[in-house]
């Protein structure tokens, strides 16, 4: 299992942490080195969908 799928599974199980995860991903996108590696926009949309489904 990859890191990102494990992360989304964890967020789906704990939707109250979704806001913190989305904040950290948005912050990581603003850092030039990390923002080039992390596909933050797609992950943020995925986390928002998972947290909406879990509620």
Name the strand (E) or helix (H) holding 8.
Answer: helix 3-13
Best CA proximity match to 39, nearest among 49, 25, 27: 25
DSSP 17: G
Judge whether residue 18 has pLDDT over 70: yes
* Structure tokens belonging to residue 42: 């797609």
Residue with tokens 């990859």: 2
Task: Compute the distance between CA of residue 25 and CA of residue 31 in angstroms, rounded to an integer.
Answer: 10
- Residue indicated by tokens 């950290």: 24
**pTM of structure:** 0.50
pLDDT digits (tens, 9 = 90+) for 28-44: 778 877 777 767 777 77
What is the structure's pLDDT at 1? 63
């Amino acid at each position: 299992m990859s890191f990102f799928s494990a992360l989304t599974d964890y967020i789906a199980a704990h939707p109250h942490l979704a806001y913190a995860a989305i904040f950290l991903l948005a912050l990581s996108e603003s850092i030039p080195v990390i923002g080039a590696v992390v596909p933050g926009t797609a992950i943020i949309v995925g986390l928002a969908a998972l947290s909406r489904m879990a509620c």
